[in-house]
Amino acid sequence: MAGQYLNFILEDGRERAFSIANAPHDDELIELHIRHVDGGEFTRFVFEGLKDKSIMRIKAPLGSFILREESERPMIFMAGGTGFAPIKGQIEHALHIGDTRPMQIYWGVRDERDLYMGELAQSWADENDQISFIPVLSEPNSNWTGRTGFVHEAVVADNPDMSGFDLYMAGPPPMINAGKEAFMSAGLSTDHMFSDAFDYAKD
């Protein structure tokens, strides 16, 4: 289901989790968004050692970070970095099934270059009246004229009363934790707050 993840099973039995970035209907391939982490054993292998047609063992699908299709509440999506991956799958699924609920997409990154699929997210907003896309940069260069600061603060600034929303957030644990606290203070029940925290694997 849109928003779920898979685990790579390494030769020694350890596992590495990555969100599935494509929607279920677009299932010819599995799309993953993988950030090259300095010192990261698995990501170094992916970027430097993985060969075409290599056989990888995976366990999938996993997780409960899925779109609540039965809900009629407007939706806010908040991504941090490659947390855009599961949210991309959720939004593409929502568009595929004809979901007409309002969708606000917030994507927090350090600098504009980190909006690696920003044109896609903007195209959703350009082509669908119910969608808005708000990128938020925490360390922008001098040419950036858009929103700056922490992404969860931008969400609350735009939506001071969050009690009527469903909120989906994916990204680094500090962003998720700060967001939960801020959104609860803005009136959002944890029953309508869904999250997928991205953390680097520790062996």
Residue 202 covered by a domain:
no
Helix (H, G, I), strand (E, B) or coil at 15: strand
Q: Is the pLDDT of residue 2 over 50?
A: yes
Distance separating alpha carbons of residues 61 and 95, to the nearest angstrom: 21
Q: Are residues 33 and 115 in the same domain?
A: no
Average pLDDT score over residue span 151-180: 97
Q: Does residue 116 sit in the same domain as residue 32?
A: no
pLDDT of 39 strictly over 70: yes
Q: Which residue type occupies 61?
A: P
Worst-scoring range by mean pLDDT, 43-52, 88-97, 114-123?
Answer: 43-52
pLDDT, tens only, 154-168: 999 999 999 999 999
**Phi and psi at residue 135, to the nearest 5°:** -80, 140
In the predicted structure, residue 201 carries a pLDDT above the cut 90:
no
82 lies in the same domain as 55: no
Is 175 found in the same domain as 121?
Answer: yes
Instruction: Determine the average pLDDT of the residues in 172-177.
Output: 94
**Same-domain check for residues 100 and 149:** yes
* pTM, entire model: 0.95
What is the spatial distance between Cα 95 and Cα 89, in angstroms, rounded to a whole number?
Answer: 10
Mark whether 30 and 79 lie in a shared domain: no
**Residue 35 reports pLDDT greater than 50:** yes
- With cut-offs at 50, 70 and 90, classify the pLDDT of residue 37: confident
pLDDT at res. 142: 79
Question: For residues 83 and 196, which has the higher predicted lDDT (pLDDT)?
Answer: 83
Nearest to 144 by CA among 109, 103, 181: 109
Residue 200 is predicted with a pLDDT of 57
Minimal CA–CA distance to 108: which of 153, 169, 151, 140? Answer: 151
Per the structure, how many domains does the chain have? Answer: 2
pLDDT of residue 202: 53
**Residues spanned by the domain of 106:** 75-197
Statement: residue 203 has pLDDT above 50: no
